[in-house]
Amino acid sequence: MTKLYTPVNLALNRVLSPSGKLNQLSFIKLTRAITIALLILSSGMVFAQTPVTGTVTDEQGLPMPGVSVKVKKTTNGTITDGNGKFALKTTTDVTLEFSYIGYIQQDVTISGKNVVNVSLKPDAKLMDEVVVIGYTTKSKSQIVSSVSTVSAKQLLDVTSNSAATLLQGKAAGVAVSSSSGQPGVTPSIRIRGTGSISSGNEPLTVVDGVIGGTANPRDIESITVLKDAAATGLYGSRAANGVIVITTKQGKSGKTSVNYSGSFGINNAAQGNFKLMDGQQLLDYSAYLYTNDYTGKRANFIKQLQAITPNPTPQQIADYLTLKNLPLTSEAYLAKSLPAVPGNTNWRDEAFRQAYTNSQNINISGGDAKTHFYIGADYYDEKGTLINTGYKNVNFRINLDHQINDRFKITTRINTGFGQKTDDRTSALYQAYTNQPWDNPYHEDGSPRYIDQESQWYGRDKSNFVFLKKYNLDNERLQNLAGDLKLDYKINSWLNFASSNRYTTTNSKREITVDKSTPGGIANQGELRNVTTYTNSVLTSNLFNAAHSFGKHNLSGIAGFEYQQNYAENIDAKGYGIVSGITVPEATATAADFTGTKGKSRYVSELFMADYNYDNRYFGTASLRNDGSSKFGINHKYGLFYSFAGGWLISNESFFKSKIITNLKLRASYGVTGNTPGSDYASIAYYSLKNQYSGIPGATPANLGNPDLTWETPTTINMGANIGLWDRIELNVDLYQRTNKDLIIDVRQAAASGYSYFTQNVGAVKNQGIDIELNTKNLTGAFQWNTNFNIGFNKNRVTKLYEGQPIDKYANQRIAIGHDMNSWYTYDWAGVDPQNGDPLWYTTKKDASGNNYTTTTNQYKDADKRFTGTSSPKFTGGMGNEFTYKNFSLNTFFNFVYGSKIYNGNRDVFDADGAYPQYNSIVLPEGWNRWEKPGDIATHPKAVLNGNKLSNKPSSRFLEDGSYLRLRNITLGYSFSEAITRKLKISNLRVYVSADNLVTFTRFSGMDPEVANLDPSTLDNPNPNTVGMSGTKYPISKKILFGVNIGF
């Protein structure tokens, strides 16, 4: 964790925020000071006294804006401006108090002086970052729950405009993974493992204190990940999977600052260990397959002939073979299917290209004592490495707050984004893996060939994406808008009321065409499909926020009410018969399809929290939330969620005096949160009207309905310690156990029930683990070296299921008691029979006395399914290193995943032992070998035309080690010295070169070992989202970018 706090970070705007906890000593003082200042300003009261001026500087002599300057024992005061200067009218013989969060307060008696210059010294004890933990803000030393923070600086290394992508590897216990390297793809996030089977596993996002929302990474001030129940408890039924709290930047009083940052660079697709055969290699391989096929067929026909004619002459054999349409020689047989001279097209080079990323951002912020503003504008354009793919986005944010008077404050925030996404509709990705090198996509004159079913083409799919790429479109337009309006009302010195309100709306339109000039468009004379989506969400959150101190007792609390409504709809419409290049619906000749859905859900919540600390040594907190949701059954609309936590800051004890251990805190928490069903209407028994027959609407039983359906209840126990050594090493360790009970499971029903599933609260999953974060300052001085390291270990076990019944997830995974939720359950590969090269699988048989024993079989259907590992990693994490020398800085960031098993699913077509002779095949990597003759000990069975006894069908054969270590980013930067920036009349100038994903260490045989987590909402889909699966993956991009940051 890096300090969020910097000397120029005033945090003033949070002072009166109800989401801020006002229990910190200096905070209260500051509050008082500002209140006074504002009172003076707003009331226009003027003390007829002499002016005192001065400058406040920090320990390095830099001016400090925003320092509270107050006349002791009065309400008279002000704050310093952007240059650290202040002016105050006062009587001549008073004492001024200079206070600033994190600094030791200084009292200066002016005794007649007109100019008072003060240098403030940091307070080591209070040099404490302020962490936004959702509804409240706390100084780090007072936090007794398990949270990880990521600062803007840590966040922005990899070039991406997705905050989730940037979080990868940055916080312990937070596993971010993506199923695709395509620009604009949203990765999935798992905090401390996967806890739910049928409901959501993605964490809740909170932006600027309000549930939901998005933020451009460059507008983000900090991200806090809330992990244990003490931190998430206040989010109740929404918090089962942890909470990601995003705080956006705010303007600061003082000089207006303008920051520009821009970067531009190139992207190339990573290839990993994946290698396909070239034309000659494939020809040699195929010739072997076809020759064996010919030899066998010929022998069999001769056998048939011999049944009629015992000793056939060569002529009789030749006549018989001709009668049966078998060529007389294997050469002639091969010529039917294989080229004489192989072509050598590299399809990967045709499908992928060198692309670019262009990221431009400018933000302007500033303000005076009453009003602060932040305006951020961002442009991001990433071309995909795969043809036709790309993503562009423009984002604006305006954050504005204004102190109306000493009691009222208004804050508005507007965040809006306009995106464009293009996708490929030519199957180039799949074909890059499978097309045969013998086929040439181009005519001799270099123009692309039109390939349809009738064309001469060796490959299976008879499709040339090089031709198609300029015709078929898939363009998506995305818009989102979120508007916040927040009113703060300061009721008295210890009580605030705040009403936060947000309206969010998103809409998108996707336009997909199949051009009539393409093989696929001829039948329907071209096709145009439009998919539009619209969502809106209204949320109001109304909180009382209290804070009071009695001597060494510090007490604070929250009481409030929230209401949220979410609505979503979409339309998917298609028309046939349209002129090439035209994309307007009214131009279609025939309306072909018209579908769409609507859904709505509501939440009502009451929440309470109390927080106590004694002398900043003993801490206790308790929270309670009562949540109602429309998704629950009529009998259980409400749920009660609570948490308790306690902490002991040992290093604040008077008996604890250690030069070595500078910080020591022990923490413990316990709490119950919740998870709502994925479906809006899972509790209602109803018939669906989405089916029709013969043009008449029909009703089909959709849902058994469960009036008792209610929330899942994850119970989390967390124990942690924060240890600081020599002020240079910071170690945070957390042990946790999260038991999700009453899991909402779509319990599969036997076919005879007439239903696919019945949604019930059954089952339990336990996640246990350790999160470790270690930040060290290895070298200080001229050459600085800092390291941030985090690692999260998690063990997942299913502990209870409906009547103990396992749940099979598509073909190869099973959820069963005592196993990890993401367990593979496949036919278990037993290798290759050395005698004949047959595939072998394990099977169970009974011996004469009826005992089971394990043996092998070459019959796929007789093989046993077994647990063969899990796609859940044993641990994940990241390590960042920062080296600084003079004006140079070098940052490296690695992320790693260990112990997952990945199913490389599409090996069943490109590593198929001959089952797909019309697809290209991989070159076996080192360590793998193919059976050729009796006695061979091989990893790969004998290659046989059209397949060797289903050897390529799903089994543990395709499970591979998914561990990897990736250099996510390396950046070398140079900051120009002040002499130069002063000359240029700017405040700072930095240039850098940055590289993403340059190196990945892995044993995985595919292009990339990174795979996505399970999406349970797709379980009942015929093509569920693949968990731990890799196939023809859109590979991740290697990027090299040049960038510049300029501050004015």
Partner 1 sequence: MITRYQTIVAIALIVSATACKKDLALEPYNGITNENVVTTLAGLQNATIGTYSFIKDENYVRNYHIFTEYASDNLSLSGTTTDPLFYAYNYQHQKNQVNVLAFWRKAYQAINGTNVVIEKVAESQDPVTNQLLGENYFLRAYLHFDLVKIFGRPYTDDNGESLGVMIKTNADAKELPARSKVKEVYALVISDLLKSVQLMNSNNTSNFASREVAIALLSRVYLYMGDYKNAFDYADQVIKSGRYALIGSANYPKYFTTPPEQNSETIFAIKHTLKDDRLDGAIGSMYWGGSIGYGEMYASESYRSLVSKFPGDLRNLFVVPQYVKNSDGSIKQDDKGNPVLQNRNGYPKYFINKYSFQDGYETLSSPVVLRLAEMYLTRAECAYQLGRPNDALADVNIIRNRAGLKDNALFSVSNMMGYTSVLDVILDERRLEFAFESQRKFDVFRNKRTLNRDYPGTHLASGQVSQEIPYTDPRVIFFIPEDDITLNPNLIQNP
CA-to-CA dists, residue 590 to 473, 582, 693, angstroms: 20, 14, 20
Encode 38-69: b = buried (16+ Cβ within 10 Å), e = exposed. bbbbeeeeeeeeeebebbbbbeeeebbbbbbb
Instruction: Report the C-alpha dihedral over residues 243, 249, 252, 257, rounded to 10 degrees.
Output: 160
Listed ranges 27-35, 127-135, 702-710, 829-837: which one lies at the site for partner 1 (CB under 8 A) = 702-710
| Angle at alpha carbon of residue 429, lines to 423 and 432, rounded to 5° | 150
Instruction: Write phi, then psi, for 122 (nearest 5 degrees).
Output: -65, 145
Angle between helices 314-323 and 279-308 (to 10 degrees): 110
Q: Contact 935/911 with Cβ under 8 angstroms?
A: no
CA–CA separation, 419 vs 390, rounded Å? 11
Listed ranges 57-65, 613-621, 725-733, 946-954: which one lies at the site for partner 1 (CB under 8 A) = 946-954
Options 101, 772, 801, 945; binder of partner 1; rule CB under 8 A? 945
Within residues 735-794, the interface with partner 1 by CB under 8 A covers: 748-756, 758
Within residues 529-558, the interface with partner 1 by CB under 8 A covers: 542
Options 597, 799, 929, 977; binder of partner 1; rule CB under 8 A? 597
Q: How far is the CB of 38 from partner 1 (least distance, A)?
A: 18
Options 581, 698, 707, 925; binder of partner 1; rule CB under 8 A? 698
Options 85, 370, 509, 602; binder of partner 1; rule CB under 8 A? 602
CA–CA separation, 904 vs 940, rounded Å? 15
Tell whether residue 296 is a contact of partner 1 (CB under 8 A).
yes
Between residues 453 and 849, which has the closer beta carbon with respect to partner 1? 453
The tokens for 490 are 């300061």
Q: Contact 184/109 with Cβ under 8 angstroms?
A: no
Helix/strand/coil for 89: strand
Listed ranges 351-359, 591-599, 707-715, 872-880: which one lies at the site for partner 1 (CB under 8 A) = 591-599
CA–CA separation, 625 vs 543, rounded Å? 13
CA–CA separation, 563 vs 565, rounded Å? 7
Helix/strand/coil for 233: helix
Residue 925 carries which DSSP code? P
CA–CA separation, 446 vs 1035, rounded Å? 28
Between residues 164 and 863, which has the closer beta carbon with respect to partner 1? 863
Instruction: Write phi, then psi, for 910 (nearest 5 degrees).
Output: -105, 5
The tokens for 729 are 């090493």
Residue indicated by tokens 């319990």: 747
Q: Contact 867/814 with Cβ under 8 angstroms?
A: yes
What are the beta bridge partners of residue 867? 825
Q: How far is the CB of 431 from partner 1 (least distance, A)?
A: 15
Within residues 625-664, the interface with partner 1 by CB under 8 A covers: 628-630, 632, 634, 637
Q: How far is the CB of 652 from partner 1 (least distance, A)?
A: 35
Closest CA to 955 of 810, 828, 862, 866: 828
Residue indicated by tokens 């105050």: 88
Options 299, 579, 582, 984; binder of partner 1; rule CB under 8 A? 299
Options 702, 731, 774, 991; binder of partner 1; rule CB under 8 A? 702
Mind giving me the DSSP string for 173-212? TEEEE-S---TTPPPEEEESS---SSS--SPEEEETTEEB
CA–CA separation, 506 vs 483, rounded Å? 12
Between residues 203 and 905, which has the closer beta carbon with respect to partner 1? 905
Between residues 240 and 747, which has the closer beta carbon with respect to partner 1? 747
Between residues 428 and 945, which has the closer beta carbon with respect to partner 1? 945
Within residues 131-190, the interface with partner 1 by CB under 8 A covers: none
Q: How far is the CB of 433 from partner 1 (least distance, A)?
A: 13
Tell whether residue 243 is a contact of partner 1 (CB under 8 A).
no
What are the beta bridge partners of residue 959? 903
Options 491, 582, 584, 980; binder of partner 1; rule CB under 8 A? 491
The tokens for 39 are 């009172």
Q: How far is the CB of 958 from partner 1 (least distance, A)?
A: 13
Tell me the Cα Rg of the chain. Answer: 33
Helix/strand/coil for 565: strand
Options 307, 696, 937, 979; binder of partner 1; rule CB under 8 A? 696
State how far Cα 552 lies from the chain centre.
43
Tell me the per-residue interface mask from 559 to 588 with partner 1, x by CB under 8 A, - otherwise.
--x-x-------------------------
Between residues 46 and 750, which has the closer beta carbon with respect to partner 1? 750
Helix, strand and coil content of the chain, in percent to the nearest 5, comes to 15, 45, 40
Tell me the per-residue interface mask from 86 to 115 with partner 1, x by CB under 8 A, - otherwise.
------------------------------
What are the beta bridge partners of residue 965? 896, 1001
Between residues 284 and 978, which has the closer beta carbon with respect to partner 1? 284
Between residues 278 and 864, which has the closer beta carbon with respect to partner 1? 864
| Beta carbons within 10 angstroms of residue 705's beta carbon | 17
Within residues 806-825, the interface with partner 1 by CB under 8 A covers: 806, 808, 810-811
Tell whether residue 707 is a contact of partner 1 (CB under 8 A).
no
Helix/strand/coil for 30: helix
Tell whether residue 846 is a contact of partner 1 (CB under 8 A).
no
Tell whether residue 295 is a contact of partner 1 (CB under 8 A).
yes
Please, what sign has the CA dihedral across residues 572, 574, 580, 586?
negative
Listed ranges 118-126, 250-258, 703-711, 960-968: which one lies at the site for partner 1 (CB under 8 A) = 703-711
Between residues 593 and 653, which has the closer beta carbon with respect to partner 1? 593
Tell whether residue 337 is a contact of partner 1 (CB under 8 A).
yes
Options 483, 620, 705, 899; binder of partner 1; rule CB under 8 A? 705
Listed ranges 347-355, 602-610, 793-801, 1001-1009: which one lies at the site for partner 1 (CB under 8 A) = 602-610
Tell whether residue 837 is a contact of partner 1 (CB under 8 A).
no
Residue indicated by tokens 């499978």: 434
Between residues 384 and 941, which has the closer beta carbon with respect to partner 1? 941
Tell me the per-residue interface mask from 424 to 463 with partner 1, x by CB under 8 A, - otherwise.
----------------------------xxx-----x---
Instruction: Report the C-alpha dihedral over residues 228, 232, 233, 234, rounded to 10 degrees.
Output: 160
Q: How far is the CB of 236 from partner 1 (least distance, A)?
A: 15
Options 57, 106, 271, 292; binder of partner 1; rule CB under 8 A? 292
Q: For partner 1, how many residues bind (rule: CB under 8 A)?
A: 103
Q: For residue 737, what are the contacts with CB-CB under 8 A and spacing of at least 6? A: 716, 717, 766, 767, 768
CA–CA separation, 211 vs 225, rounded Å? 14
Listed ranges 146-154, 803-811, 933-941, 1011-1019: which one lies at the site for partner 1 (CB under 8 A) = 803-811
Tell whether residue 600 is a contact of partner 1 (CB under 8 A).
yes
Listed ranges 41-49, 143-151, 430-438, 699-707: which one lies at the site for partner 1 (CB under 8 A) = 699-707
Q: How far is the CB of 161 from partner 1 (least distance, A)?
A: 34
The tokens for 493 are 């010195």
Within residues 1013-1032, the interface with partner 1 by CB under 8 A covers: 1022
Within residues 510-529, the interface with partner 1 by CB under 8 A covers: 519-524
Tell whether residue 474 is a contact of partner 1 (CB under 8 A).
no
Options 581, 599, 707, 925; binder of partner 1; rule CB under 8 A? 599
Within residues 847-866, the interface with partner 1 by CB under 8 A covers: 860-861
Within residues 896-915, the interface with partner 1 by CB under 8 A covers: 908-909, 914-915
Listed ranges 418-426, 654-662, 804-812, 977-985: which one lies at the site for partner 1 (CB under 8 A) = 804-812
